[in-house]
A and B are shown apart, each in its own frame.
Chain A
């Protein structure tokens, strides 16, 4: 237990029976899981499985139909502001405003998250994510790889206890992706942050994640460490496991 942050039992995110329905279509169907401090949890599944819907509900930008989300042992809807100050995210579909510079964007989000010593924090992040050359360049002029680094810098600005990453390395070359993966691993180990990570790169998931949740048709079909999952299912790697699960229709359907 981390008394300073108020984390009980080391759990930073607790999702219980979370459901999202659009009329008769259930995008997420009563899923439950936890993310612990210092843990990287992979949320994987085929397109339309409900990964982004789940992340959106955790971010409070989509109201669940049923279920609850607790972050740092607080109800994320009731204590939204306090909870969201300890959360951050980066997603391919959440671009930062391209008509402002890297430094300006970080400053705005630093203010939104009420970061202390904001200028110092911006300098640290610019250095850490190798953004010195682009600090005063408008984000819209950067390459997709450079933008990804800015998105991650923004996601780290408030030292989040819970970091949600929706395909953070999707547009990066292998070398840049390796650097980013190491930074996220370092964040989880050093700062005891919990990470929920979606990716379609199964090699990345296998290398990075302490635990994996296989989501399909809005349900968690498998859960466990990559190594255990492979042993239990008799597959040589996560990609093979992914393909076999993605092809199977749900038993209940």
Chain B
């Protein structure tokens, strides 16, 4: 792999973000809205519950971590869409750029944009609601690793779908994470789900993060074995998504769709 080519893919995205305030604000704006909305909801719940239980770490912590995963996924999708919108695939893949280098460039882009957005909302959560996610301690690093890896696999799989089916497929890939969220136990324990749906949560890496987060908050213990399963699943999905992207790239080269990408023709 060439560092120079990975940097080229990354640099292009950074230059685009820097050149337009709309792209830059997109890193923060929706996650900030989520944090503010859920911050007020948790405050209200604290007021009406009268149990003395604080919903802030439970719900606000959950929304911060979920938004991080979504931003990782969106970081990859937005980067590939920039290349679709500017019809840049032909220039890229007729150059010495390898698929692995292209994906690495997208991953690097997503890492920077998602971490920037995450730090921004941590600041908002602290200033507006006095919440700091660092209370989760060392477990936070494990949470972020699983969510980042799972978010990347989501993003790369979504990129493969767009690459395979053309620009119109972007409307399929945006809500992909939202479809998973009810089964990931983001806001409620997996045990809340009907029995027949609970096995679905077992194959979603994010569910181990949110179950683990609640355990850390309630008991102060870190369930390492659960994290291990979550991390392993996330890594498997990451390799699987990369494999899918490779296969799609081969199919696109075989069919010639890369030359007439806007025609959305894979026949």
Contacts and interface: CB of A to CB of B under 8 A. Distances in A.
Interface string B102-133: 00000000000000000000000000000000
Nearest to A111: B8
B95 A112 contact: yes
A93 B2 CA distance: 27
A233 B267 CA distance: 40
A89 B96 contact: no
Interface in B1-32: 2, 4-5, 7-8, 11-12, 15-16, 19-20
Interface stretch (B82-90, B148-156, B233-241): B82-90
Nearest to A56: B259
Interface stretch (B52-60, B157-165, B250-258): B250-258
Nearest to B2: A114
B202 interface: no
A111 B94 contact: no
Interface in B162-180: none
Contacts, number: 84
B93 A114 contact: no
A53 B258 CA distance: 12
Contact of A114 (B4, B15, B16, B90): B4
Given A56-B256, A108-B8, A94 B90 contact: yes
Contacts of B92: 112
Contact of B8 (A85, A93, A94, A112): A112
A104 B87 contact: no
A99 B87 CA distance: 11
B96 A112 contact: yes
Interface in B208-267: 253-254, 256, 258-259, 267
B16 A94 contact: no
Interface residues of A, number: 33
A93 B94 CA distance: 13
A61 B86 contact: no
Nearest to A114: B4
A158 to B, nearest CB: 9
A113 B86 contact: no
Contacts of B7: 111
Contact of B86 (A20, A62, A81, A98): A98
Contacts of A63: 253-254
Nearest to A80: B96
Given A94-B90, A114-B5, A108 B258 contact: no
9 contacts: A60-B93, A61-B258, A84-B94, A98-B86, A104-B15, A108-B12, A111-B4, A112-B96, A112-B97
Interface of B: 2, 4-5, 7-8, 11-12, 15-16, 19-20, 86-88, 90-98, 253-254, 256, 258-259, 267
Given A81-B98, A112-B95, A112-B97, 5 more contacts: A56-B259, A60-B94, A93-B90, A94-B94, A114-B5
